[in-house]
Chains A and B, each alone.
Chain A
Amino acid sequence: LDQHLVEYFRAQMMKDPDMASAVAAIRTLLEFLKRDKGETILGLRESLTWATDCLTGVDSSVAVSSGGELFLRFISLTSLEHQDLSRCKKVMEERGELFLEKISMSRTKVAKLCHTFIKDGAKILTHSYSRVVLRVMEKAAAEKKRFSVYVTESQPDSAGRQMAEALRKLNVPVTVVLDAAVGYVLEKVDLVIVGAEGVVESGGIINKIGTYQMALCSKAHNKPFYVVAESFKFVRLYPLNQQDVPDKFKYKADTLKTVQNLSEEHPMIDYTPPSLITLLFTDLGVLTPSAVSDELIKLYL
C-alpha cells in the first residue's frame, strides 16, 4: 500500500515540476483519503498520519511535513462539523479539491503583492532556486521593469545555476556568485528576496543553507530582506537557535536512513530568526514577522 502512495507522490512531483512539494503531498493525501476504506474517523486520522510519515520518508523537507499537518488539521476541523463518516468524507473530498484550487493560486497572489517592491533599475540578490521568487520576477519582468539579479551558487547541489538558467530565459541579466561572495556583493545590491521551505511560528524561516548568512549580512549592510512564501508553508515549530531545528528536516531522507553518525553530515537547511527579516509576502497579505504567529494561532487553536 505504501508503495502506491510513494509512487503517486513521485508521479505528482514529476508531472508538474513547478508544483510545490507541499501541494503534491496534499494531493497525494487527498487521493489516499478517497481510496481509504476505514470505518471510523479516528482510524482515518491514524492512517493519514501513517501516510504522512511515509511521504516524509521520501522527501524529508519541512514543506511536506507542514503540508501533511495542514491536511490533518483540515480533517479534524471538518470531522467536528459532521458526525456521520460517509457524509464527512464527501464533504472532505469536496473541500479538499477547493483547497487545492485555492492554494494553486497562492503563488500568483504572492507575485502580485511582491512585484511592486521591485523598482526600475533595482539590483536583487537571491539564494538558490525558489519557484516563488522566480514567479515574482516573472511578474516584475512582465510589468516591463528593468532589474538585474545576483544568485548564489548554493552548494552542495548548485541549485543557483538552475535559477540563473530560468532567469536568463526571461531575459533578466543575472550573475551567479559564490556562496562566500555574499558580503562582497551586498554593497551593490538594493534588496534581497528569498523563498522559504518553511515559515516557523516566531516569524523566522527555514530555507536552504546559506540563507541565515545572507540575512545577517543584509542586516549589517542595512538592506531590506524580503521573504516570499505561500501560506501552507507555515509550520508549528518554534526553534530558538540552529540546534532546535529537528534533524529530520536538516538532512535528506536518504541520508537519514543510511548514515550512522549525523554529526559528520552537512545540513541542507538553516534557520533565520525573525529579527533579520523585514517583511514576509504571503498569499494572506504582506506580513511582518510578528503577524505570522497570529495566523498560526487562528488556525490551530
Chain B
Amino acid sequence: MPGPDKETDLTERIEAFLSDLKRGGSGTGPLRGSAETARETTALLRRITAQARWSSAGDLMEIIRKEGRRMTAAQPSETTVGNMIRRVLKIIREEYARSRGSSEETDQQESLHKLLTSGGLSEENFRQHFAALKANVIEAINELLTELEGTTDNIAMQALEHIHSNEVIMTIGRSRTVESFLKDAARKRKFHVIVAECAPFCQGHKMATSLSEAGIETTVIADAAIFAVMSRVNKVIIGTQTVLANGGLRAVNGTHTLALAAKHHSTPLIVCAPMFKLSPQVRRLTNEPDFYNFCEILSKVNVHCPVFDYVPPELITLFISNIGGHAPSYIYRLMSELYHPEDHEL
C-alpha cells in the first residue's frame, strides 16, 4: 500500500537527516557548509509537505513545527535549519492568505496601524481546506530552493563594486561565501589577501591554499598578529555563521577581536552573509555560557575553547547578502520580510 510506505520512507529520511545533523556539528567544525544544510532542510520540508497527511494549513504548520523542533534540538548551533523552517512557515501563511483571497501584501506583523483599524481580535486558525494549497506551497518552496542555489553567486557578483585594485583585504578562517566573493573579484582585479589562521582548527590555512590556487596573493598570519597588521589593511571581509536579529553576528572565534581591531583603525568591516543565515534570535547577556559551544581538546588539561564569538552591530559597516548591501540597523526590516513574528519560537 502506498500510504504507510510513503510515511515510513518519510520518517526514515527525517531520522537520517537528524543523525547527520548531530554528527556534523562537533569536533573539527561542520562537515558541510551551511548552504548545503539549508538546501537539505528545505528539500526535506518539501518532501514533508508532499508526503505527510494533512488537510488544512494549520495541520501542516503543526507537523512542520514539530519536526522543526526536533531538528533544531539535534544541533542547536546550526541555526540555518531553524531559519529555513521559519521561511517555510511564512510561505504557508502567505499561500493560505492568498487562497482565502485577502490582500496578500497586508502586513501580517503587529503594528500600531493594525491595532487601530482591524475589526476584531483576529485569531487566524488556518483551518480552512483549500485543494490547491498543497501545489502552491510546493511551488513556493521550489522557488525558495532556486533562491538558495543562487545565493553564493549573487553575493560574488557584487564583489567588483567593493574590491579595488591594489587593496589589502583581511579575512579570518574559512568561509565559502567569502572565498567565491574574492575569487570573483580576482578575475578582474589584482589585490592582496591576509588570512588570519583562526586557531585551533586553523581553517584559515585551507582558505589560503584555495585562494592562492586562484592566483590571489595570500598571506597567512597568526591570530595574535591581527592587531599589529591591521594598520596596513584597507578592508576586512568576513563570513559568519549566523546574523542575529539586532544586526550582530555569531561568527567563528576570533572575529570579535578582528572587529575591534578594525574599529580601532577605522577600517570598514564587511560581512558577506546570505539571507538564510538571518535568525530571529537576539543575544541575551554578556557572559552567557551557552551562546558559545565549548569543546575539550586534551584529556588531562581542561581547555575551554569557544567555537563562536559575538560581534555587536556597532562594529559592522556593511552586510552583503544575495539581495544587496544593507546597514546593520536595517536587519530588523529584513527579518520582518522573511519570518512571521509568531514563528520566532518554534
* A binding-site residues for B, Cβ under 8 Å: 70, 73-74, 77-78, 94-95, 98-99, 101-103, 116-117, 119, 122, 190-191, 222, 224, 231-232, 234, 278-279, 283-288, 290-291, 294-296, 298-299
Q: Contact partner of B111 among A278, A288, A298, CB < 8 A?
A: A298
Chain B neighbourhood of A70, CB < 8 A: 112, 116
Which residues of A lie under 8 Å from residue B119 when comparing CB positions?
Answer: 94-95, 98
Q: Mark B105-121, 1 if CB is under 8 A from A, else 0.
A: 00101111101111111
Whether the Cβ atoms of B110 and A290 lie closer than 8 Å is: no
Task: Please determine whether B341 and A231 come into contact, CB atoms closer than 8 angstroms.
Answer: no
Chain A residue with Cβ nearest B341? A285
B284 within 8 A of A: yes
User: Which residues in B have some Cβ–Cβ distance to A below 8 Å?
Assistant: 107, 109-113, 115-121, 245-247, 282, 284-286, 288, 329-333, 341
Task: Tell me, in angstroms, the Cα distance from A203 to B234 when the chains sit together.
Answer: 33
Question: B71: shortest Cβ distance to chain A, in Å?
Answer: 22
Q: Is the CB of B330 within 8 A of A78?
A: no
Q: Which residues of B contact A191 (CB under 8 A)?
A: 285
Contact (Cβ within 8 A) B285 A299: no
On whether the beta carbons of B329 and A119 are closer than 8 Å, the reply is: no
Q: Are B284 and A77 in contact (CB under 8 A)?
A: no
Residues of A within 8 A of B117 (CB): 74, 77-78, 95
A101 to B341, CA, bound (A): 21
Chain A residues near B120 (CB, 8 Å)? Answer: 98
Taking CB atoms, residues of chain B closer than 8 Å to A284 are: 109-112
30 A-B interface contacts by CB (under 8 A): A74-B116, A74-B117, A77-B117, A95-B116, A98-B119, A98-B120, A99-B116, A102-B115, A103-B115, A117-B285, A119-B284, A122-B285, A224-B285, A231-B115, A279-B246, A279-B282, A283-B110, A284-B110, A284-B111, A288-B331, A290-B332, A291-B333, A295-B112, A296-B112, A298-B107, A298-B111, A298-B113, A299-B111, A299-B112, A299-B113
Q: Which chain B positions have C-beta within 8 A of A296?
A: 112
On whether the beta carbons of A299 and B116 are closer than 8 Å, the reply is yes
Q: Which residue from chain B places its CB closest to the CB of A81 in the assembled complex? A: B117
CA A224 to CA B287, docked complex, whole Å? 12
Docked pose: A98 CA to B118 CA in angstroms: 9
B341 and A290 within 8 A (CB)? no
A70 CA to B115 CA in the complex, in Å?
11
Task: Identify which of A99, A288, A298 contacts B246 (C-beta below 8 A).
Answer: A288
Nearest chain B CB to A38's CB is how many angstroms away?
A: 21
Inter-chain CA distance A62–B282, complex, in Å, is: 30
Q: In the complex, what distance in Å separates the CA atom of A122 from the CA atom of B110? A: 30
B286 surroundings in chain A (CB, below 8 A): 190, 222, 224
Contacts of B245 in A (CB 8 A): 286
Separation of A287 and B282 alpha carbons in the complex (Å): 10
Looking at the assembled complex, report how far the CB atom of B311 sits from the nearest CB atom of chain A, in whole angstroms: 14
Residue from the set A95, A288, A295, A298 with the largest chain B CB neighbour count within 10 Å: A288
In whole Å, how far is B108's beta carbon from the nearest beta carbon of chain A? 12
Which of the residues A119, A234, A291 comes within 8 Å of B112, measured between beta carbons? A234
Distance between A244 CB and nearest chain B CB, rounded to angstroms = 22
Please determine whether A101 and B116 come into contact, CB atoms closer than 8 angstroms: no
A117 touches B115 (CB 8 A): no
Which residues from chain A contact B329 at a C-beta distance below 8 Å? 288, 290
> What is the CB-to-nearest-CB distance from B116 to chain A, in angstroms, rounded to a whole number?
5
The 7 closest A-B pairs by CB, nearest first: A290-B329, A299-B112, A291-B332, A74-B116, A299-B113, A284-B110, A298-B111
- Chain A residue numbers with a CB within 8 Å of B246 are 278-279, 288
Partner of B284, one of A78, A117, A288, A295: A117
**Docked pose: A190 CA to B119 CA in angstroms:** 42
Which residues on the B side are within 8 Å of A283 (C-beta)? 110
Is B333's CB under 8 angstroms from A294's CB?
yes
Min Cβ gap A6→B in Å is 25
Contact A288 B332 (CB under 8 A): yes
- Contacts A101-B121, A116-B284, A286-B245; is A298 near B112 (CB within 8 Å)? yes
- What residue in chain B is nearest A71 (Cβ atoms)? B116
User: Nearest chain A CB to B332's CB is how many angstroms away?
Assistant: 5
Task: Determine the chain B residues whose CB is within 8 A of the CB of A74 once the complex forms.
Answer: 116-117
* Chain A residues near B112 (CB-CB < 8 A): 70, 231-232, 234, 284, 295-296, 298-299
In the assembled complex, the Cα of A122 lies from the Cα of B113 at a distance in Å of 36
Q: How far is the CB of B211 from chain A (nearest CB, A)?
A: 35
| Given contacts A288-B247, A288-B329, A291-B332, A77 and B116 within 8 Å (CB-CB) | yes
B residues less than 8 Å from A95 (CB atoms) = 116-117, 119
How far apart are the CA atoms of A94 and B119 in the complex, in Å?
Answer: 8
CB-contact partner of B110 in A116, A224, A285, under 8 A: A285
Nearest chain B CB to A200 CB, angstrom units = 14
B332: contacting residue among A101, A117, A119, A287, CB under 8 A = A287
Q: Which residue of A lies closest to B287 (CB)?
A: A190
Nearest CB on A from B327, distance (A): 9
Bound Cα distance from A294 to B245, whole angstroms: 16
Q: CA separation between A295 and B336, bound complex, in Å?
A: 12
Q: Which residues of A contact B288 (CB under 8 A)?
A: 119
What B residues does A232 contact at CB under 8 A? Answer: 112
| In the complex, residue of chain B having the shortest beta-carbon distance to the beta carbon of A296 | B112
Task: Please give me the residue from chain A that is nearest to B344 by CB atom.
Answer: A285
In the complex, which of the residues B107, B282, B288, B333 has the most CB atoms of chain A within 10 Å of its own CB atom? B282
Assembly CA distance A78 to B118 (angstroms): 10
- Compute how far the CA of A117 lies from the CA of B314 in the bound complex, rounded to whole angstroms: 20
User: Knowing that A279-B282, A287-B332 are A-B contacts, what are 14 other residue pairs whose CB atoms are under 8 Å apart, sorted by A's residue number?
Assistant: A73-B116, A77-B117, A78-B117, A98-B119, A102-B121, A224-B285, A231-B112, A279-B246, A284-B110, A288-B246, A288-B247, A290-B329, A295-B112, A299-B111
